[in-house]
Amino acid sequence: MRWFRTLWCLSMAVALASFGLASGCSDREGEADVGVGPDEGDDRPDGGDAGTNDGDPGHGDGAPDLGSPVEVPLGVPTTFRLDLPRGARTFDVFVSSQGLQAKPPLLVVFHGGNRSRADVLSDVTGLGGFRDVAESERVLLIAPNGSNADGEGDAPQANWNDCRQSVAAATNNADDGALFDALVAWAARHFDIDEQRVFIAGPSNGGLITYRLALERGAGIAGAAAFIANMTAEPEQCVFSDARVPMLIMNGTSDRLMAFEGGALTQGSGGNVMSSDATAAFWAERNGTLLAQAAVDYPDINLRDGSTASRVDYLEEAGGIGVRYVVVTGGGHTIPSVRYRTPGALLLGGQNRDIEGAAEAWAFFSQVAP
């Protein structure tokens, strides 16, 4: 019956939101129900045909033409478009109902694999916590859309080109580095952001593109947070910069899609990843922060979630935090959240309800770049 199929599709879409799977119920699954903002059709950065897995990350040779002034309603996500050399890309912008703080930080959050920007501003997964951060802290939140195999930059089932060779084809070898550069320039032009406080975050495939941008665009990133994401086993496919980026890593030991122990990914775009512990070690070594502190346990405030969380900070010799590694024991392929419940435990693994993942990321960012 049609009503039963509709109900089933909706439940499956919710269960798989933000992760490397899609229910396949609709060609438009996961698209945001938001107002479309001004057409940024003239926002065309000049030059730069790069960002591939085996070449220059592609900053572009010319300054972007960022178009005319824009207006964004308070407390309501608004969609914009940038026309880049490889095609148009869309993104949602959220400004707190209280307005922005003076010289606001920029927070760019990437959705998971086979999903869309709609997930970042949804109420069905832990990603919703980032909207709460933007609302309370009055920071500028941007949620861009990935690409699909046809190169469509507004696809409802999109991915990020994250240094895995297997995912390059799934994104038509998208230049997501150029997109990130254009977003920062756009935000600086229209919102006078503090370019010393640009932060990035994402889960799963969104976490893997977070790793890639931190490697390749590190000089322009003040802090990064990757959830339920292990580092690719092919880091040499990335183009390393010299910059060090403070990194928060938050992974679950019972993740059924991206195994804590690493190895081959059997869902989504495939490829191989390091273990979670090896991922933390990779970033600790890269950031020169090998001084591991004693583990700190988070309060187990929800005794029914079958999960606990603890963190280890890796410090610089001067005392700054280079890596914060949060292990969610019993946690699945879900962002921990007290407020936002992610259904689908049989498929994804359980969700920790003791901590708010997005709030933990912002607390980390506030420590490393106050």
Cβ contact 159:170 at 8 Å: yes
**pLDDT, position 157:** 94
Q: Where are the domains of the chain?
A: 35-368
Q: What is the mean pLDDT of the chain?
A: 84
Determine the residue type at 244.
Answer: R
Q: Please classify residue 356 by burial: count the beta carbons closer than 10 Å to its beta carbon, then call 0-12 exposed, 13-18 middle and 19+ buried.
A: buried
Of 74-83, 157-166, 358-367, the least confident: 157-166
- pLDDT score at 7: 38
Q: What is the pLDDT of residue 67?
A: 64
Predicted local distance difference test score (pLDDT) of residue 66: 62
8 Å CB contact between 228 and 250: yes
pLDDT confidence tier of residue 290, bands split at 50, 70 and 90: confident
Per-residue pLDDT, 141: 98
Beta-strand runs (E) in the chain: 35-36, 78-84, 87-94, 106-109, 140-144, 198-203, 223-227, 247-252, 263-264, 272-273, 291-292, 296-297, 308-315, 321-329
The one-letter code for the residue type at 172 is: N
Topology (CATH) of 35-368: Rossmann fold (3.40.50)
* Average confidence (pLDDT) over 145-168: 91
- The proportion of the chain whose per-residue pLDDT surpasses 90, expressed as a percent, equals 69
CA distances (Å), 42 to each of 58, 83, 151, 177, in order?
20, 7, 19, 19
Lowest mean pLDDT across 74-78, 106-110, 222-226, 233-237: 233-237
Structure tokens at 68: 């005319």
Residue 367 φ then ψ, to 5°: -75, -40
- What residues contact residue 42 under an 8 Å CB cut-off, 6+ apart? 65, 67, 83
The confidence score (pLDDT) of residue 245 equals 97
The stretch 239-248 carries a mean pLDDT of: 95
pLDDT at 51: 33
pLDDT of residue 24: 36
Residue 65 is predicted with a pLDDT of 55
pLDDT in tens, 187-243: 999 999 999 999 999 999 999 999 999 999 999 999 999 999 999 998 988 899 999
Lowest mean pLDDT among 58-67, 117-126, 266-275: 58-67
Mean pLDDT within 109-113: 96
Beta bridge partners of 201: 109, 225
Write down the pLDDT at residue 353. 97
Buried (b) or exposed (e) across 324-343, using 16+ Cβ within 10 A? bbbbbebbbbbbbbbebebb
The H or E element spanning position 166 is helix 165-170
pLDDT of residue 343: 85
Instruction: Please name the residues in contact with 36: beta carbons below 8 A apart, sequence gap of 6 or more.
Output: 78, 79
113 neighbors 17 (Cβ within 8 angstroms)? no
Q: What integer is the mean pLDDT of 236-257?
A: 95
Question: Would you say 147 and 91 are in contact if contact means Cβ atoms under 8 Å apart?
Answer: no
Count how many Cα atoms sit within 13 Å of the Cα of residue 210 in the half-sphere of its side chain: 37
Length of the chain: 370
- For 294, the token pair is 């004693």
- pLDDT at res. 56: 34
User: What is the arithmetic mean of pLDDT over 52-79?
Assistant: 63
pLDDT above 70 coverage of the chain, percent: 81
pLDDT tens digits, one per residue of 9-49: 434 444 443 333 333 333 333 333 333 344 433 332 332 32
Q: Is the pLDDT of residue 55 over 70?
A: no
How does residue 301 score in pLDDT terms, banded at 50, 70 and 90?
Answer: very high
Predicted TM-score (pTM) of the model is 0.83
Q: Is the pLDDT of residue 63 over 50?
A: no
Residue 128 has pLDDT above 90, yes or no: yes
Closest CA to 26 of 157, 149, 153: 157
